[in-house]
């Protein structure tokens, strides 16, 4: 280098970089000034980090229980964005809005950064040593708590966290792992188990030619919406399948139906039996069920069913003949059919249609029996919460540990969980951010965000074989005084069972050992190191297994006389809460992207609202924005009216998830919490909360306010040909070019 | 491109477009297809856009005034005509609406400072540091997909440490500036540079927009219309939509492709495919 001016090429030569490595820098382009060239530093701070270049690492989304494989884009040591992981069977390289917002859990300005310990009425920040000191004094080696005296309350949890949690409780001689889900699928699971022998059969949506769904929102809030959406895309390609949705309030799935029916809430089972009765008129199905059952269906003639359900009498044989014509079909039951006093029998009546139509083995299969049942989640229930609530009320519970759920917010008013918590002497919350429940605890431990932590997950719904998901940190932890949930459990177990856990310095070493133990299952010939590195690189460990058979226990289906839905003049409206795919039970209301993401059906953001059918609104002289008081026997809330045609006219609906009072700047003071006006109605077979069975009265308050919504002054296209619709028999999908495998 | 460049090349920049085979010998013409029968209205694309393009969250009050900055939004309609049906018994009508990257863009001709102009690869670009906030472009846009920064969002939309999520490849826009969908131009530039360094054209599928990448039903297809072998070019051809025509002559009436407001002669770069409904059901 004779000249003092060193150009880029010389610089590369000095560093011994040539050939393929040099092209990284984009040499050969014209100039930096023109903006055509990527400017990159040659000082590379760490392995795999190229300043200016985003690198993708595989991990697992923890926003819901679906267990989607994701890829995190990391640049300069910061995670910026998540994409779907194409290697994941569950996500198929796709991601939903809720998954996108996981980075806002991580970077949330209201993250908890230090342990908090109760001093009188307030929680005060303390050092981690102090916090662990308090925790181990109560629950360490010297603890004499046993059995029901200790309880671990969580949301749905799977993988090795679940195993460690159970081992921790076992060290107290306790099995008191209470799994609570405010949007519990328990009734549906019980009904499936009774009829098919399995809680969650695998739905082959893409193989169905007709789907008849009773309130099953598989595209929005079902068990694996991203996977279901990919299946739905194939279902809609040639030969295009038809979707019929029956529900009191239009869900996202209902909004995509070829035919949508508004049904009187709670009468879904009556309609299903009416369709079954109609199907039996076809010679093909006449002998599909016993004479006894066929006789029991006799009273379900179309006029009676129409009277009870509010569905026109002609629609019933029409649906039946479509089911007969388009085989194989798939009939689905969903939360709005199951969340009633007769929810279980509604669901079994719906499943009866699959048995008559012989869909078993075609569009409905059993999940493969996989070798990791101990890693599969226990599905949450309401019953679990009430049992814990009773134990707390009776003063039996001495120590309560809480992670991944917020019962102070989601428990109905008649389950005084929050006040009973005060009877528990020691309450510990594990969380990334203070919420209403954590604020009532004595000790709050700040967790790593899911993007900073290791973990394994096995989703409850496995669409094919089994997928063991690996979660790995996508960046260094943001806050030094945060810790992984698994790490805390390992620390505690080292106190409780030193001999069994002394080999594991941390949770990472524990899951690495555990996953390597499973290596023979995956028939891998790789060395341990390569197997583990592949697992981290791919983010998934897949095992192809044959689908299991499912049973057809017709005897589980009890058919009584047709019963009308209960009516009450004092509370004239059915109250159907709606679940938003992004906010769910309210646990995501702290994420600004999701608050600003309009509800797909109403376009409302940042608020709660009351959906009312336009004809009902006209009768009651209610206009959009009129503030209504919605009152049940349990309580009342106030929100603005939104005129919504996708609802049964005797029904009103409000979205769940808003109305927080202690969940950070983006959630607090936004909307109201309809969980608190749910009435104590219970499903008769399972004892679960009948979430869709509340009845209400609505009162005008005389106030009117502007809706916070995205849509303009009209909800109509007014002939502008914005969304053009073609009849299915005209479209020639087979001739089209598409990215979706047909 | 400097202002002197702009003035020098004025005649090529303000050419009447589009014309037949405009991009035939060009390397790139970015375009899109959105299948409305596959779109479920789930909002995955809109959130992905917030993450990729540093879109500010404006908050409840600004949102209620129509100041949301969603470059792509899902419009939802209940009827095609003027009458609200009693029940939406054929479901909702969802429309992902984003900048149509018009070839003859109404926004471009009214910009007094040349802040919005057409790029050689067929994008309707927005140069933030040239924009003076006249908002003429927004007034002239028939799709209403241009978004104005009424507030100094960098000061309030990303409280620490949310700003660490910002994509370093994308500018954070300040008060007084118009912005809109760019077809994720930062991804396109990176892919084009990589390809040019390797002496080739960007291959089909090598680059896509954030919305298309996220879409759980693969309803959005993005690609290079100048590459006749690309998926998007094949789809345009099969759907019998010609970029340079304002009335499509379809020999096959059963093909679903159409462009919105074609009669305004904006020549959009996005083809929508008609939603399908089984009317026998």
Helix axes A315-325, A302-309, angle to 10 degrees: 110
Query: Is the CB of residue B190 less than 8 Å away from at least one CB of chain A?
Result: yes
How many A×B Cβ pairs under 8 Å?
A: 322
A351, A329 contact by CB (below 8 A): no
Find the CB nearest A219 among B40, B46, B238.
B40
Per-residue pLDDT band for A568 (boundaries 50, 70, 90) equals confident
Report cis status (omega within 30 of 0) of the bond before B177.
no
Q: Which residue has the tokens 């819901």?
A: A64
Is residue A14 predicted with pLDDT exceeding 80?
no
In this structure, is residue A372 part of a structural domain?
Answer: no
A chain contacts of residue B85, beta-carbon cutoff 8 Å = 645
State the best of A34, A56, A596, A727 to mutate against chain B, taking most chain B CBs within 10 Å.
A596
3-state secondary structure A618-658: HHCCCCCCEEEEEECCCCEEEEEEEECCCECCCEEEEECCC
In this structure, is residue A318 part of a structural domain?
Answer: yes
Per-residue pLDDT band for A33 (boundaries 50, 70, 90) equals low
B chain contacts of residue A724, beta-carbon cutoff 8 Å = 36, 256, 258, 272, 274-275
pLDDT, residue A1, reads: 37
Q: Which residue has the tokens 């029916």?
A: A261
CB contact under 8 A, B42 and A219: yes
Count CB-CB contacts under 10 A for residue B7.
10
A642, A630 contact by CB (below 8 A): no
No. of H helices and E strands in chain B? 9, 11
State the best of A36, A81, A433 to mutate against chain B, taking most chain B CBs within 10 Å.
A81
Helix axes A186-196, A343-356, angle to 10 degrees: 40
pLDDT, residue A567, reads: 73
CB contact under 8 A, A582 and B43: yes
**A567: exposed, middle or buried (Cβ count in 10 Å: 0-12, 13-18, 19+):** exposed
CB contact under 8 A, A722 and B215: no
A260 with A351, same domain: the answer is yes
Distance between CA atoms of residues A398 and A396, nearest Å: 6
Query: Is the CB of residue A20 less than 8 Å away from at least one CB of chain B?
Result: no
In this structure, is residue A133 part of a structural domain?
Answer: yes
A230, A592 contact by CB (below 8 A): no
Count CB-CB contacts under 10 A for residue A6.
11
How far apart are the CA of A140 and the nearest CA of chain B, in angstroms?
35
A347 with A207, same domain: the answer is yes
Q: CB under 8 Å to B76, separation ≥6 — which residues? A: A255, A600, A601, A603, A711, A715, B41, B92, B93, B94, B95
Tell me the per-residue pLDDT of A184-218, one tens digit each, with 9 for 90 and over: 999 999 999 999 999 999 999 999 999 999 999 99
Query: Is the CB of residue B68 less than 8 Å away from at least one CB of chain A?
Result: yes
Strand residue runs (E) in A393-488:
399-403, 426-431, 443-446, 455-457, 466-471
- Worst-scoring range by mean pLDDT, A12-16, A424-428, A661-665, B62-66? A12-16
Q: A154-178: b or e for each residue (b if 16 or more CB lie within 10 Å)?
A: bbbbbbbbbbbbbbbbebbebebbb
Distance between CA atoms of residues B269 and B123, nearest Å: 9
Residues of chain A numbered 166-195 and touching chain B (CB < 8 Å): none
Find the CB nearest A255 among B50, B91, B164.
B91
What is the length of chain A? 742
Per-residue pLDDT band for A268 (boundaries 50, 70, 90) equals very high
The CATH number of the domain holding residue A176 is: 3.40.50.740
B229, B204 contact by CB (below 8 A): yes
A226 with A337, same domain: the answer is yes
A195, A247, A294, B180 from A267: Cα distances, Å: 20, 10, 20, 47
pLDDT, residue A34, reads: 52
Locate the chain B residue with the closest alpha carbon to A31: B193
Q: What DSSP string describes B136-158?
A: HHHHH-TT--EEE--S-GGGTSS
A231 with A332, same domain: the answer is yes
B chain contacts of residue A731, beta-carbon cutoff 8 Å = 254, 256, 274, 276
A404 with A303, same domain: the answer is no
Is residue A150 predicted with pLDDT exceeding 90?
yes
B chain contacts of residue A240, beta-carbon cutoff 8 Å = 276, 278
Query: Is the CB of residue A593 less than 8 Å away from at least one CB of chain B?
Result: yes
State the best of B5, B28, B45, B51 to mutate against chain A, taking most chain A CBs within 10 Å.
B51
CB contact under 8 A, A716 and B79: yes
Per-residue pLDDT band for A43 (boundaries 50, 70, 90) equals low
3-state secondary structure A126-156: CCHHHHHHHHHHHHCCCCCCCHHHEEEEECC
For A282, list phi and psi in degrees, rounded to 5. Answer: -75, 130
pLDDT, residue A666, reads: 98
Neighbouring-strand partners of residue A626: A704
Report cis status (omega within 30 of 0) of the bond before A239.
yes
In this structure, is residue A522 part of a structural domain?
Answer: no
B49, A582 contact by CB (below 8 A): no
Query: Is the CB of residue A728 less than 8 Å away from at least one CB of chain B?
Result: yes
Distance between CA atoms of residues A279 and A357, nearest Å: 9
CA A415, A419, A425, A431 torsion-angle sign? positive
CB contact under 8 A, B77 and A615: no
- Lay out the sheet containing A55-60: strands in order across: A55-60, A69-75, A78-84
CB contact under 8 A, B94 and A596: no
Distance between CA atoms of residues B190 and A586, nearest Å: 39
Q: Which residue has the tokens 């699971």?
A: A189
In this structure, is residue A292 part of a structural domain?
Answer: yes
Range of the structural domain that residue A667 is part of: 573-704
DSSP letter assigned to residue B57? P
A95, A211, B34, B227 from B218: Cα distances, Å: 11, 21, 9, 21
CB contact under 8 A, A729 and B190: no
Report cis status (omega within 30 of 0) of the bond before A328.
yes
pLDDT, residue A52, reads: 83
* pTM for this model (two decimals): 0.94
Q: Domain spans of chain B?
A: 26-273
A282 with A430, same domain: the answer is no
Query: Is the CB of residue B240 less than 8 Å away from at least one CB of chain A?
Result: no
Query: Is the CB of residue B142 less than 8 Å away from at least one CB of chain A?
Result: no
Q: Which residue has the tokens 């809330």?
A: A637
Strand residue runs (E) in A312-434:
329-333, 364-365, 399-403, 426-431
Pairing label, strands A609-612, A651-655: antiparallel
Parts of chain B with a pLDDT under 70: 1-2, 6, 9-15
Instruction: Examine the fold and report which residue of A330, A365, A400 is the final residue of a domain before the chain moves on.
Output: A365
Locate the chain A residue with the closest alpha carbon to B197: A26
Please state, rounded to an integer, the average pLDDT across all residues of chain A.
93
CB contact under 8 A, B277 and A727: yes
ipTM attached to this prediction: 0.95
Q: Rg for chain B (alpha carbons), in Å?
A: 19
pLDDT, residue A564, reads: 86
A78, B187, B213 from B52: Cα distances, Å: 14, 10, 11
In this structure, is residue A47 part of a structural domain?
Answer: no
In this structure, is residue A195 part of a structural domain?
Answer: no
pLDDT, residue B49, reads: 98
Is residue A25 predicted with pLDDT exceeding 60?
no
CB contact under 8 A, A739 and B63: no
Q: What DSSP string describes A703-731?
A: EE----BSS-S-SB-TT--SS-EEETTT-
Count CB-CB contacts under 10 A for residue B279.
14
Query: Is the CB of residue B213 less than 8 Å away from at least one CB of chain A?
Result: yes
Find the CB nearest A739 among B58, B167, B231.
B231
Of residues A50 and A295, which shows the higher confidence score?
A: A295
The number of distinct structural domains making up chain A is 4
Q: What DSSP string describes B169-227?
A: TSPPP-TT-EEE--SSHHHHHHHHHHHHHTTSPPPTTS---HHHHH-TT--EEEEETTS
Distance between CA atoms of residues A733 and A405, nearest Å: 45
Average pLDDT, stretch A423-444? 98
Q: What's the start-to-end Cα distance of chain A, in Å?
A: 61
Q: Closest by alpha carbon to A354, among A285, A267, A265? A: A285
The CATH number of the domain holding residue A258 is: 3.40.228.10
In this structure, is residue A714 part of a structural domain?
Answer: no
Q: What is the maximum alpha-carbon separation in chain A?
A: 102
A582 with A505, same domain: the answer is no
A80 — alpha (psi -120 to 50), left (phi > 0) or beta?
alpha
CB contact under 8 A, B91 and A260: yes
Tell me the per-residue pLDDT of A339-366, one tens digit each, with 9 for 90 and over: 999 999 999 999 999 999 999 999 999 9
How far apart are the CA of B207 and the nearest CA of chain A, in angstroms?
14
Tell me the per-residue pLDDT of A455-498, one tens digit each, with 9 for 90 and over: 999 999 999 999 999 999 999 999 999 999 999 999 999 999 99
Question: Which CATH code fits B26-273?
Answer: 3.30.70.20
A327 with A395, same domain: the answer is no
Q: Closest by alpha carbon to B120, among B9, B266, B231? A: B9
pLDDT, residue A565, reads: 78
A58, A538 contact by CB (below 8 A): yes
Query: Is the CB of residue B88 less than 8 Å away from at least one CB of chain A?
Result: yes
Distance between CA atoms of residues B80 and B82, nearest Å: 7
A175 with A207, same domain: the answer is no
A346: tokens are: 């509604």
Per-residue pLDDT band for A741 (boundaries 50, 70, 90) equals low
A chain contacts of residue B46, beta-carbon cutoff 8 Å = 97, 597
Average pLDDT, stretch A574-594? 98
For B172, list phi and psi in degrees, rounded to 5. Answer: -95, 125
B259: tokens are: 């462009």
Which three-class secondary structure state does DSSP give residue A335? helix
Tell me the per-residue pLDDT of A526-557, one tens digit each, with 9 for 90 and over: 999 999 999 999 999 999 999 999 999 999 99
A513 with A660, same domain: the answer is no
A310 with A220, same domain: the answer is yes
Instruction: Examine the fold and report which residue of A303, A330, A365 is the final residue of a domain before the chain moves on.
Output: A365
């Amino acid at each position: 280098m004779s000249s003092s001016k060193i150009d880029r090429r010389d610089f590369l030569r000095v560093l011994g970089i040539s050939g393929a490595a040099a092209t990284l820098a984009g040499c050969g382009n014209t100039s930096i000034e023109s903006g055509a060239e990527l400017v990159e530093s040659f000082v590379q701070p760490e392995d795999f980090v190229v300043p200016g270049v985003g690198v993708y690492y595989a991990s697992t989304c923890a926003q819901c229980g679906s267990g989607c494989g994701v890829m995190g884009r990391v640049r300069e040591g910061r995670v910026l964005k998540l994409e779907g992981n194409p290697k994941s069977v569950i996500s198929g390289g796709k991601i939903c809005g809720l998954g996108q917002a996981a980075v806002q859990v991580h970077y949330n300005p209201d993250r908890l950064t230090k342990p908090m310990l109760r001093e009188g009425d307030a929680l005060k920040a303390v050092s981690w040593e102090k916090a662990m000191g308090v925790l181990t004094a109560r629950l360490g080696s010297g603890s004499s708590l046993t059995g029901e005296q200790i309880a671990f309350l969580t949301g749905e949890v799977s993988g090795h966290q679940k195993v460690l949690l159970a081992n921790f409780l076992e060290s107290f001689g306790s099995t008191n792992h209470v799994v609570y889900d405010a949007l519990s699928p328990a009734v549906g699971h019980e009904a499936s188990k009774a009829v098919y022998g399995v809680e969650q059969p695998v739905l082959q949506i893409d193989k169905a030619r007709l789907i008849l769904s009773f309130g099953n929102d598989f595209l929005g809030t079902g068990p694996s919406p991203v996977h279901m959406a990919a299946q739905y895309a194939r279902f809609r390609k040639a030969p295009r399948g038809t979707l019929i949705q029956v529900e009191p309030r239009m869900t996202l799935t209902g909004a995509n139906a070829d035919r949508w029916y508004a049904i009187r809430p709670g009468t879904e089972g009556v309609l299903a039996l009416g369709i079954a009765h109609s199907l039996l008129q076809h010679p093909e199905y006449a002998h599909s069920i016993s004479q006894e059952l066929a006789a029991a269906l006799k009273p379900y003639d179309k006029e009676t069913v129409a009277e009870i359900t509010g569905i026109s009498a002609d629609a019933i044989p029409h649906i039946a003949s479509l089911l007969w014509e388009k085989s194989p079909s798939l009939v689905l039951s969903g939360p709005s059919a199951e969340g009633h006093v007769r929810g279980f029998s509604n669901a079994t009546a719906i499943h009866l249609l699959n048995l008559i139509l012989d869909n078993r083995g075609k569009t409905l299969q059993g999940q493969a029996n996989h070798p990791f049942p101990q890693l599969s989640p226990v599905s949450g229930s309401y019953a679990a919460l009430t049992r814990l609530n009773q134990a707390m009320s009776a003063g039996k519970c001495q120590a309560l540990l809480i992670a991944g759920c917020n019962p102070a917010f989601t428990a109905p008013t008649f389950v005084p969980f929050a006040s009973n918590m005060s009877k528990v002497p020691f309450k510990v919350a594990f969380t990334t951010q203070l919420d209403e429940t954590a604020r009532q605890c004595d000790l709050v431990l700040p967790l790593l965000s899911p993007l900073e932590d290791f973990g394994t997950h096995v989703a409850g719904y496995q669409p094919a074989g089994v997928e063991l998901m690996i979660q790995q940190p996508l960046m260094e932890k943001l806050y030094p005084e945060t810790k992984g949930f698994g790490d805390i459990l390992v620390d505690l177990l080292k106190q409780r069972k030193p001999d069994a856990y002394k080999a594991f310095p941390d949770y990472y070493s524990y899951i690495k050992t555990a996953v390597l133990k499973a290596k023979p299952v995956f028939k891998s010939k790789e060395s341990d190191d390569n197997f583990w590195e592949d697992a981290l690189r791919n983010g998934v460990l897949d095992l192809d297994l044959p689908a299991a058979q499912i049973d057809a226990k017709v005897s589980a289906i009890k058919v009584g006389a047709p019963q009308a839905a209960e009516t009450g003049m004092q509370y004239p409206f059915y109250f159907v809460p709606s679940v938003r795919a992004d906010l769910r039970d309210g646990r995501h209301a702290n994420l600004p992207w999701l608050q600003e993401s309009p509800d797909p059906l109403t376009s409302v953001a940042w608020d709660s609202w009351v959906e009312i059918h336009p004809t009902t609104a006209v009768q009651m002289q209610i206009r959009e924005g009129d503030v209504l008081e919605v009152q049940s026997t349990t309580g009342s809330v106030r929100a603005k009216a939104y005129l919504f045609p996708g609802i049964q006219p005797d029904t009103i609906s409000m979205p769940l998830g808003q109305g927080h009072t202690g969940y950070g700047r983006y959630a607090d003071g936004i909307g109201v919490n309809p969980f608190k006006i749910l009435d104590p109605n219970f499903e008769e077979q399972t004892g679960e909360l009948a979430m869709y069975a509340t009845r209400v009265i609505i009162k005008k308050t005389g106030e009117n306010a502007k809706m916070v919504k995205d849509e303009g002054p009209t909800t109509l296209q007014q002939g502008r040909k914005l969304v053009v619709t073609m009849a299915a028999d005209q479209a020639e999908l087979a001739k089209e070019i598409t990215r979706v495998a047909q | 491109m400097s202002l002197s460049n702009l003035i020098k090349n004025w005649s090529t920049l303000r050419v009447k477009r589009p014309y037949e085979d405009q991009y035939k010998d060009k390397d790139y013409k970015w375009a899109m297809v959105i299948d409305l029968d596959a779109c479920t209205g789930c909002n995955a694309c809109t959130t992905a856009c917030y993450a990729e393009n540093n879109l500010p969250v404006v908050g409840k009050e600004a949102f209620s005034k129509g100041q949301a900055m969603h470059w792509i939004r899902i419009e939802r309609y209940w009827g095609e005509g003027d009458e609200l049906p009693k029940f939406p018994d054929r479901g909702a009508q969802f429309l992902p609406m984003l900048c149509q990257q018009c070839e003859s863009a109404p926004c471009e001709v009214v910009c007094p400072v040349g802040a919005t102009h057409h790029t050689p690869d067929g994008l309707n670009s927005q140069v933030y540091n040239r924009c003076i906030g006249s908002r003429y472009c927004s007034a002239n846009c028939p799709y209403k997909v241009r978004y104005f920064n009424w507030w100094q969002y960098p000061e309030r939309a990303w409280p620490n440490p949310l700003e660490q999520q910002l994509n370093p490849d994308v500018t954070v826009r300040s008060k007084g500036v118009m912005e809109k969908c760019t077809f994720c131009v930062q991804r396109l530039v990176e892919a084009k540079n990589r390809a040019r360094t390797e002496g080739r054209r960007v291959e089909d599928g090598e680059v896509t927009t954030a919305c298309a990448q996220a879409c759980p039903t693969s309803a959005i297809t993005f690609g290079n219309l100048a590459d006749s072998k690309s998926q998007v070019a094949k789809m345009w051809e099969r759907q019998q939509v010609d970029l340079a025509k304002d009335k499509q002559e379809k020999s096959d009436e059963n093909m679903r492709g159409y462009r919105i407001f074609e009669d305004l002669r904006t020549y959009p770069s996005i083809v929508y495919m008609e939603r399908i409904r089984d009317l026998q059901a």
